[in-house]
Amino acid sequence: MAYAAFRSIGAYVPEKILTNDDLSKMVDTSDEWITKRTGIKERHIAAENEFTSDLGVKAAQKALERSGIALEDIDLVVTATISPDYFCMPSTATIIANKLGIKGATAFDITAACTGFIYALSVAKAFIESGMKKNVLIVGAEKLSAITDYTDRGTCILFGDGAGAAVISATDNKEEAIIDVHTGADGEYADLLMTPNGGTGSAHDSLDAEAGTCFMQMKGNETFKVAVRTLTKDVKEILEDNNIKSEDIKHFIPHQANLRIIKAVGEALKMREDQVVITVEKYGNTSGASIPMAINDLYESGALEKGEIMLLDAFGGGLTWGSALVPFAPLK
């Protein structure tokens, strides 16, 4: 049987920085409030002519370079995004594949909001273990600034742009295999986080920027409580299922939504501070890109070593959730 191994990571953040002080000139907020309630100090914003696919391509180029796998051997490209280049078609994955020069590989997008990267990881694992594909590029890429309402202080302080990518490939060596991926969803809570326009379920017949209905809307406080509960439960289950103790996890990499959520979950799971990876202060919430961007930070800091187990945990619109136990298994 083939196993799926996590070979490499890459990320890209756009140049422009939007600070809390910048935001306090746009809406009724302050650096103090944002820092205290979210831990976020700044986020990056893509240029007008820089699309989600452009961010994804730059992250993917780094992941591919570091993977030791040839571009022509990539046979599946999966992109997790809620801010695609185009709403219906083509998928952002096909655009990314084309810009990278990947020809003929299967390519599609996943819509699972902040859990998107873990959903993509589960798809890569399943395709590889079934023998259908061998080398999968997964990309989490978001230009959330394009769907953020900069008159709504409840959401605009949170979100940023960026991308992360990973190469997952087949191996016979069980030691380096992705141990487990859990994913789930509950549409009963669909209205907690949504972009209400642009689809057939919408009361509006077109994307209407002026009415603000194509922007993200969130019931922040309710979402916060469900997030802490779900993230904690999710981790407990995956650790229990695999007979792993939380103290044996080298790197806990949760979705970067809010420092208070990360801390509450870390404490509930009795994680030590040195186990928890935190990047929310400099990137904000980048939805499907947040986990691979955090893994990349860890990698570039030199703190991610071959064989170390990463515990990933995410929660997002849908509602969706997911967790994964992933040994880092570079080829070079």
Active-site residue flag, 156: no
**C-alpha count within 13 angstroms, C-beta hemisphere, residue 202:** 17
Question: Between 168 and 193, whose beta carbon lies closer to ligand UT7?
Answer: 193
Residue 148 CB, shortest distance to ligand UT7, in Å, is: 13
**C-alpha count within 13 angstroms, C-beta hemisphere, residue 78:** 25
Residue 286 CB, shortest distance to ligand UT7, in Å, is: 9
Both tokens assigned to 160: 């940023």
Residue 41 CB, shortest distance to ligand UT7, in Å, is: 14
Residue nearest to ligand UT7 according to CB distances in the complex: 220
Question: Between 187 and 302, whose beta carbon lies closer to ligand UT7?
Answer: 187
Question: Between 6 and 224, whose beta carbon lies closer to ligand UT7?
Answer: 224
Distance CA 292, CA 11 (A): 7
Distance CA 278, CA 255 (A): 9
The dihedral formed by the CA atoms of 222, 88, 163 and 216, expressed in degrees to the nearest 10: -30
Both tokens assigned to 308: 């170390």
Question: Between 37 and 41, whose beta carbon lies closer to ligand UT7?
Answer: 37
Binding stretches for ligand UT7 (CB under 6 A): 29, 33-34, 37-38, 114, 153-154, 157, 220-221, 223-224, 227, 257-258, 261, 285, 315-316
Both tokens assigned to 68: 């030791």
Given the residues 44, 182, 251, 255, the one annotated as active site: 255
Which whole-number Å values give the CA distances from 140 to 59, 87, 113, 143, 174, in the listed order?
9, 16, 10, 11, 26
Question: Between 289 and 326, whose beta carbon lies closer to ligand UT7?
Answer: 289
**At CA 188, angle to CA 185 and CA 190, rounded to 5?**
80
Given the residues 20, 135, 285, 296, the one annotated as active site: 285
Pairing of strands 180-185, 193-194: unpaired
Residue 26 CB, shortest distance to ligand UT7, in Å, is: 10
Given the residues 114, 156, 214, 251, the one annotated as active site: 114
Residue 83 CB, shortest distance to ligand UT7, in Å, is: 13
Q: List the catalytic residues.
A: 114, 255, 285
